[in-house]
């Protein structure tokens, strides 16, 4: 394109007939750029929030039942808690799709819904642990239950590991050791909540995605 001050056409050489038309100048057309349309994040809607909270409560109820069985000395299957976390992720996707009017749910959206449902189910457990640690009677019972659990593990552990488990038992017998032991288990439980719930959400997106589409 020519600058604004440049002539429309180049001057003709001397001796050119007057009726000769100057050569046509090519016109360069530059299409205007299309405006960028930003879509609203569907995970910030009311349907998503209600779905992850409901699914998280289902997960925490199942986990509390498992903890109650373990505290009572029952031989409850350990994978039951993981199954509750996994199911919470799939349930959050199902609830969100029904409450949002359907639509495509990608694997990434399913993982986010599942992870948020895991956090929603993990928050009440943290609150319960904080309340228990501020109650002297609850701390004493928790101390006793933790000691009995470690003693059962020591009884069934190989001889090579019993010495290390005895040291752990002696460490947990102190208040500081009990706090560190519980804190590490709380953090580990939170990571498992998020991971297994996210996997359940991805599976829910694969099974309940619109028209069987599988895309990220």
Residue 31 lies in a domain: no
| pLDDT at 134 > cutoff 80 | yes
Tell me the residue range of the domain where 150 lies. Answer: 43-209
pLDDT at residue 140 in the model: 84
- Report yes or no on 48 lying in a domain: yes
- For residue 69, being part of any structural domain is answered with yes
The string of DSSP codes covering 34-100 is PPPPPPPPGGGSHHHHHHHHHHHHHHHHHHHHHHHHHHTT----THHHHHHHHHHHHHHHHHHHHHT
Instruction: Supply the pLDDT for residue 158.
Output: 81
Asked if residue 157 is part of any domain, the answer here is yes
The confidence band for 16, taking pLDDT boundaries of 50, 70 and 90, is low
pLDDT for 179: 84
Q: What percent of the chain has pLDDT over 70?
A: 69
Decide if 19 is inside a domain: no
Domain membership flag for residue 14 = no
The pLDDT mean for the chain works out to 75
pLDDT-wise least confident of 41-50, 106-115, 130-139: 41-50
Lowest mean pLDDT segment, chosen from 5-14, 90-99, 163-172: 5-14
Residue 159 in this model has a pLDDT that exceeds 60 = yes
Stretch 114-136: mean pLDDT, rounded?
85
How would residue 12 be classed by pLDDT, with cut points 50, 70 and 90? Answer: low
Each residue's pLDDT tens digit, 187-212: 888 888 889 889 999 988 888 755 54
Tell me the average pLDDT across 135-162. Answer: 80
- Whether residue 216 is predicted with pLDDT greater than 60 in this model: the reply is no
In a domain, 26, yes or no: no
Q: What is the pTM of this model?
A: 0.65
Look at residue 138 and tell me if it is in a domain.
yes
pLDDT at residue 188, rounded to an integer: 86
CA distance 119 to 122: 5
Residue 184 has pLDDT above 80, yes or no: yes
Out of 60-64, 88-92, 123-127, which region has the weakest mean confidence (pLDDT)?
60-64
CB neighbour class for 172 (10 Å; exposed up to 12, middle 13-18, buried from 19): buried
Q: Total domain count for the chain?
A: 1
- 195, containing H or E segment: helix 175-208
Q: Are 45 and 103 in contact (CB under 8 A)?
A: no
């Amino acid at each position: 394109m020519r600058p604004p001050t440049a002539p429309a056409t180049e001057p003709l050489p001397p001796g050119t007939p007057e009726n000769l038309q100057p050569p046509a100048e090519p016109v360069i057309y530059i299409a205007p750029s299309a405006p960028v349309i930003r879509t609203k994040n569907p995970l910030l809607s009311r349907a998503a929030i209600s779905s992850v909270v409901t699914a998280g409560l289902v997960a925490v109820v199942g986990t509390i039942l498992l903890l109650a069985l373990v505290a009572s000395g029952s031989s409850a299957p350990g994978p039951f808690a993981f199954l509750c976390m996994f199911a919470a992720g799939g349930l959050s996707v199902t609830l969100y799709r029904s409450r949002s009017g359907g639509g495509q749910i990608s694997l990434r959206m399913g993982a986010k819904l599942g992870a948020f449902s895991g956090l929603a189910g993990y928050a009440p457990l943290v609150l319960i642990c904080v309340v228990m640690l501020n109650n002297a009677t609850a701390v004493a019972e928790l101390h006793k239950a933790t000691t009995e659990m470690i003693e059962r593990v020591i009884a069934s552990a190989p001889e090579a590991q019993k010495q290390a488990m005895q040291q752990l038992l002696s460490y947990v017998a102190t208040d500081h050791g009990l706090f560190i032991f519980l804190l590490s288990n709380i953090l580990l439980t939170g990571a498992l909540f998020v991971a297994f719930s996210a996997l359940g959400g991805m599976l829910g997106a694969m099974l309940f995605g619109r028209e069987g589409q599988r895309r990220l």
